[in-house]
Amino acid sequence: MECVFCNIVQGKNPAALEWEDEKVIAIRDANPQAPIHLLIIPKEHFPSIGDVPSDTLLAMLETVKALAAQEVFSNGYRIVINKGPDGGQTVHHAHVHLLGGRPFGWPPG
């Protein structure tokens, strides 16, 4: 089964990169749930966040921090990581959602 995020990392599927370094890329979500919705994706395939090694996880979170500093998040932002079917994971390649640009409620689900 092909992985949509692996295809983006490999340049097989088009996506406008917002960030790229040796470990991760960041793109705008194709189906945004907020005015700003970025996906931070490791370049190496890991099925879920529980499979991501610590150094790559740190790179993902450092990218969140850097992107949040670049975007206009006047009153904050939300970071979401879904794991497994009950957690709402639909793409089985670990990734972090960075959302902002509107107020969010709680609980989220």
Within 10 angstroms of residue 58's Cβ, the number of other Cβ atoms is 12
Tokens standing for residue 36: 């700003």
Catalytic residue, from 37, 45, 92, 95: name it: 95
Report the candidate in 70, 92, 89, 72 with the shortest Cα–Cα distance to residue 80.
Answer: 89
Residue 88 DSSP label: T
DSSP-derived 3-state class of residue 102: coil
Distances from the Cα of 74 to the Cα of 36, 62, 71, 77, 102, angstroms = 12, 20, 9, 9, 9
92 carries an active-site annotation: no
Active site residues: 95
